[in-house]
């Protein structure tokens, strides 16, 4: 694990629909390599425990996060202003494995679950990814701007209310696209449907799980995920063994 502790400065923080925030940060030193799907453990004001947030995008000296305000910790973090400094441990966890010789690749995400998927396409342009992204409404996808459109061969937006793109679930489009490799992050229902699709079609799939964490480095066992590997039930750690797992292994 090549994680380092570094001080980050918030360059900008902007709120979007559904209490979601996009936070752009700058590092005073060169950041280590960060793979798609890895996360950072962020120091939160007045909180003892850090908060795990996936890395949305980064350069050698900048890193950005998409954060849903879902509790006191994320609320405390997103209440900070530009110029605030905090420390982060990054990168942590295991990211998405990349198959460079396969070009029919789909990224399936919902809401803030889309965030771990961007770097797959952006860091590996030869994959010619198709993104299938689901949101409750058109406003909810604005946090991503044109990032997926610029990084992917094709983007299929899906909304619950029909205000943008396809009116329905993003998983409805899997059969049409028929990917050889599927990368997923989202709600449990989406994950279950994607898992069934991969099993029925013999599609290689990988999923990033969203799990409450404590230490972030595998010591406290707060973030256990039940998987089946080699015919055995295993309590894996989302932080150290994941957060990305072969989708066929997950007990959903």
Tokens of 56: 């949305």
Confidence of residue 211 (pLDDT cuts 50, 70, 90): confident
pLDDT at residue 217 in the model = 87
Q: 27-40 burial string, b = 16+ CB within 10 Å, else e? A: beeebeebbbbbbb
Would you say residue 16 has pLDDT above 90? yes
Considering the chain, what percentage of its residues have pLDDT values greater than 70? 100
Neighbouring CB atoms inside 10 A of 4's CB total 14
Confidence of residue 213 (pLDDT cuts 50, 70, 90): confident
Would you say residue 187 has pLDDT above 70? yes
Give CA–CA dist 222/239, Å, rounded.
Answer: 9
Q: Give mean pLDDT, residues 18-38.
A: 96
Would you say residue 222 has pLDDT above 70? yes
Q: Give mean pLDDT, residues 125-147.
A: 97
Confidence of residue 214 (pLDDT cuts 50, 70, 90): confident
Rama region for 101: left / alpha / beta (φ>0; ψ in -120 to 50; rest): alpha
Neighbouring CB atoms inside 10 A of 11's CB total 13
Confidence of residue 135 (pLDDT cuts 50, 70, 90): very high
How distant, in Å, are the alpha carbons of 3, 79, 123, 201 from that of 220? 18, 28, 32, 37
The pTM for the full model equals: 0.96
pLDDT at residue 158 in the model = 98
- What does the DSSP 8-state code read for residue 45? T
Tokens of 194: 């994607």
Neighbouring CB atoms inside 10 A of 84's CB total 15
Q: Give mean pLDDT, residues 180-197.
A: 97
User: Could you read off the pLDDT of 109-119 as tens digits, one per residue?
Assistant: 999 999 999 99
CB 129 within 8 A of CB 121: yes
pLDDT at residue 1 in the model = 53
Alpha helices by DSSP H, listed for the chain, are 72-78, 118-123, 147-151, 174-177, 188-201
pLDDT at residue 223 in the model = 94
């Amino acid at each position: 694990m090549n994680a380092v502790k570094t001080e980050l400065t918030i360059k900008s923080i902007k709120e979007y629909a559904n209490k979601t925030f996009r936070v752009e940060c700058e590092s005073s030193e060169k950041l280590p390599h960060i793979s798609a799907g890895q996360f950072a453990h962020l120091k939160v004001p007045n909180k003892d425990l850090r908060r795990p947030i996936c890395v949305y995008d980064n350069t050698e000296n900048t890193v950005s996060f998409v954060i849903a305000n879902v509790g006191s910790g994320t609320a405390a973090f997103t209440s900070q202003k530009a110029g605030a400094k905090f420390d982060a441990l990054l990168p942590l966890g295991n990211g998405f494995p990349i198959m460079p010789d396969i070009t029919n690749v789909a990224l399936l995400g919902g809401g803030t679950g889309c965030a771990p998927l961007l770097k797959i396409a952006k860091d590996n342009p030869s994959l010619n990814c198709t993104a299938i992204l689901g949101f409750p409404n058109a406003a909810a996808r604005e946090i991503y701007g044109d990032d997926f459109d610029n990084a992917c061969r094709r983007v299929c937006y899906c909304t619950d209310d029909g205000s943008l793109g396809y009116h329905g679930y993003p998983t409805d489009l899997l059969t049409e696209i028929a990917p050889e490799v599927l990368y997923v992050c989202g709600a449990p229902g989406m994950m279950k449907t994607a898992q069934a699709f991969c099993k029925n079609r013999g599609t290689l799939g990988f999923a990033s799980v969203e799990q409450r964490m404590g230490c972030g480095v595998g010591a406290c066992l707060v973030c256990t995920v039940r998987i089946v590997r080699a015919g055995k039930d295993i309590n894996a750690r989302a932080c150290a063994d994941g957060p990305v797992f072969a989708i066929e292994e997950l007990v959903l």
